Structure 1
Amino acid sequence: MPAPASHLSTASASQIRDVTEKAWTVPGVSILSVGEPDWAVPAHIREAGMAAYQRDATHYTPSGGIADLRKEVARERSERLGVDIDSSRVWVTAGGAQGIALALMATVTRGSQVLVPDPGYPPFATTTTLLGGIVVPYPLTAAGGFLPDPAALEALITNETRVLILNSPSNPLGAVIDPELMRRLLDLARRYDLWVFSDECYSAFPGAGTFASALQHDDDGRVLCLESFSKTYAMTGVRVGTLVVPSSLNRYMPMLQESLISCVNLPAQYAALAALRGPQDAVGAAANAIEERRRLVCDTLDQAGISYATDGGGIYVWVDVRDWCGGDVYGWSMDLIERDKVAVAPGTAFGERGQGWLRISLTASPGTLREGLRRLLAALDRARMSRELSPARSV
């Protein structure tokens, strides 16, 4: 029988999915591994989607999305960021994941190098690999505040480097790129003539950071910028995102979109339109809820003497468990599900530099967070006692 495509063996499956799907099969697990908001989609958004089905608005749309939604995205983004975005540059995507694929299909050529954050969101590397690109991880370290270092990035650039991927606020790290650093990163990309793909899906949750969009520093049309309705409006299963591209790519985008999805389903687009046109109270409430839960998690970790990435944004907390996981945070995380009834995302899901770290989602309910943290800390205490009592440590 025919062999599968050879590049499939070089791409990695999602460890986040491994952990979460296992947790779904074990009763009573506190799931802190996935960014699934526990609050409902606002009623006016749901009603707009249902109304579209009722009037049979279920047909094809232009590949980029319905004109009203593209115009509304352009208006909202232009006003919020203080830049001029024409609606022809806005492409409606099937969530952030398809937006990543669309952006990288437009910029990655076979054999070209892509600078990918490590730790970073897994599809950055996976999609690059599936397109025949070469992943070049760039380090995000605790000592550097988990932010990109322009000098370290420059040292990795070769004649084959084509794309720089940025993510702010970061998944999983929560780090927020401020305006000055963003300017320096865009200057670097300009100096070496790189495309910049900026994932800004968590921009509604900047935490204490000063968020800057790559679009605000794009003087010559090299930035592709992704946002999503998934977390901002709790529309994770509705699957709507937006990708703003340079006008130089517009002629190619219909072909790329057609090859992937043709168009995003129409009722979902009307729901997204209602999200932008309707009251924004729910966005502020979601941001407040995330910050309250961040304080809950950080206070609990502080009391237990557990280190984590501080001053973050986004919807996750990045936790240091190097002293307890035995050098295999993935296996340790899988064991937590059966043994301690808590699921967390292992740091190695996000790259080699994630070894010894884990990600806790702040979208779980406060009750689930408290119980999950209690179970996690009990596991850490047990690991600490085992380490202290081991013969190797008793010498």
Structure 2
Amino acid sequence: MPEIAPHVDRMPGSGVRHILERALQRPDTIILAVGEPGEVVGVTVRDAAAAAWHEGDIRYTPNGGITPLREAIVEKLARENDLAVDVEQVWVTVGATQALHMAMAMTLAKGDEVLVPDPGYTTFTMNAHLLQATPVPYPLRAERFFQPDLDELESLVTPRTRAIIVNTPSNPLGSTFDRTTLEAILDLARRHDLWVISDEVYERFTWSVPHVSLTSLDSDDRVLTVFSMSKTYAMTGARVGWLVTPPGWRPAMLRVQESIVSCVDAPSQRAALAALTGDQSDVERAAAHYRDNLIEATRLLDDRGIHYLPPTGAFYLWIDVAHASGGDVVAWCERFLDEQGVAVAPGSAFGASGEGWVRVCVASARGPLLEGLRRLPAPA
């Protein structure tokens, strides 16, 4: 029988999903491995989606999304991100996952190289393989507090490099890049004529630092920006995100969007519109909950002498378990799950630089979170 395309076989799987599948088979597991907000979507947002179904509003929508939602996104970008864009630069997608895939598909050809953060979100590398491009990790190291070394980053650029992916606030690190770092990355991209793909899914959750949108610093239309409703509004299952493109991309985007999904379903878009234009107190309450969880969690880790990266964004803790993991954090996470009943994400699932670290999501209820952290082994 015919064989699957060889580049698909080379595509890595998700190390986080591997741990989750094991955890789901074990009763009473404390699951801290997955970035799932513990908040419940507001009733106004749910009612908007339900109304679409009851009214029979379940037919095709425009490729780029319903006009009221795109207009609301334009207003949101101007108000919160200092971005002045046209409606035709905003393309509603099936979550940030599709937006990221679209951005990479539009900028990478077979054999091209893309610089991806390491540790970094697993889909960056998975998408590159699926598009028959080559992901080139740029290391984010503990000794630099997981900030990029700009000289090292530039040394990785070759004639085949086409794009750099930037993720701030970071999944999995819970870190952020400041304006100076972002400006330096843009300068590098200009020198080498590269695209920049900016993943800003966790934009609403920063701690003691402002979020800076890369596109707001872009002077020559080389940045594509990925946003999502999933984390901000706890709408992970509704699958609504959007991609902001440079101006003039409408003809190409129409073809690409049509070929992949045609359009996002109307009920989810109407729910997204209600969320963006409605009362934001649920978002503020969620942010306060995540911040307080981080405060309590880091206090517990400090008391136990466990090292971690001080979080400045997102809702993750990046925790050092090298004293216990013995150079194989994946195997250690499996043992920790089997012996202690706690699922955490192995850092090496996000790249080689993550060996010896684990990612913990703090978006759950505080009791299970703190209990899971109490079961971590402390250094001797």
State the TM-score, normalized to the length of structure 1: 0.94
The one-letter amino acid of 2:125's match is A
Conserved 8 A contact 1:106-1:249: no
The answer for the alignment partner of 2:157 in structure 1 is 157
Query: Per-residue CA shift, 1:94-121, capped at 9, x if unaligned?
Result: 1111111111111111111100000000
Conserved 8 A contact 1:179-1:210: no
Map 1:68-217 onto structure 2 (within 5 A).
68-217=68-217
The answer for the alignment partner of 2:12 in structure 1 is 12
Q: Report the Cα offset of residue 257 of structure 1.
A: 1.1
Mark the runs of 5 or more structure 2 residues left unpaired by the alignment: none
The one-letter amino acid of 1:251's match is P
The answer for the alignment partner of 1:354 in structure 2 is 354
Conserved 8 A contact 1:30-1:342: yes
Q: Name which of structure 1's ranges 276-285 and 138-147 shifts more when overlaid on structure 2.
A: 138-147
Conserved 8 A contact 2:311-2:317: no
Query: Per-residue CA shift, 1:333-352, capped at 9, x if unaligned?
Result: 12222211000000011011
Residue 369 of structure 2 is aligned to residue 369 of structure 1: yes
The one-letter amino acid of 2:285's match is A
The answer for the alignment partner of 1:297 in structure 2 is 297
The one-letter amino acid of 1:352's match is A
The one-letter amino acid of 1:157's match is V
Whole-angstrom distance in 2 between the partners of 1:344 and 1:27: 16
Find the residue that maps to 2:323 and give its secondary structure: coil
Query: Per-residue CA shift, 1:26-85, capped at 9, x if unaligned?
Result: 101000000111110011100100011010110101111101101110111112122211
Q: Report the Cα offset of residue 208 of structure 1.
A: 2.0
The answer for the alignment partner of 1:247 in structure 2 is 247
Counting aligned pairs with the same residue, the percent is 43
Q: What RMSD over aligned residues (CA atoms) do the two structures have, in Å?
A: 1.1
Aligned residues: 380
Q: Report the Cα offset of residue 145 of structure 1.
A: 2.1
The answer for the alignment partner of 1:53 in structure 2 is 53
Query: Per-residue CA shift, 1:343-395, capped at 9, x if unaligned?
Result: 000001101111110000011110110221122x2xx25xx67xxxxxxxxxx
Residue 43 of structure 2 is aligned to residue 43 of structure 1: yes
Conserved 8 A contact 1:230-1:241: yes
The answer for the alignment partner of 2:339 in structure 1 is 339
Mark the runs of 5 or more structure 1 residues left unpaired by the alignment: 386-395
Whole-angstrom distance in 1 between the partners of 2:72 and 2:312: 29
Whole-angstrom distance in 2 between the partners of 1:124 and 1:347: 15
Conserved 8 A contact 2:95-2:241: yes
Q: Name which of structure 1's ranges 362-371 and 159-168 shifts more when overlaid on structure 2.
A: 362-371
Q: Report the Cα offset of residue 253 of structure 1.
A: 0.8
The one-letter amino acid of 1:343's match is A
Q: Report the Cα offset of residue 209 of structure 1.
A: 2.3
Query: Per-residue CA shift, 1:157-180, capped at 9, x if unaligned?
Result: 111110000000000111111112
Q: Report the Cα offset of residue 330 of structure 1.
A: 0.8
Q: Report the Cα offset of residue 141 of structure 1.
A: 1.0
Whole-angstrom distance in 2 between the partners of 1:224 and 1:144: 27
Q: Report the Cα offset of residue 311 of structure 1.
A: 4.0
Map 1:27-38 onto structure 2 (within 5 A).
27-38=27-38
The answer for the alignment partner of 1:26 in structure 2 is 26
The one-letter amino acid of 1:27's match is P
The answer for the alignment partner of 2:65 in structure 1 is 65
Conserved 8 A contact 2:52-2:270: yes
The one-letter amino acid of 1:216's match is S
Conserved 8 A contact 2:322-2:356: yes
Instruction: Give structure 1 regions of 4+ aligned residues with deviation exceeding 4 angstroms.
Output: none
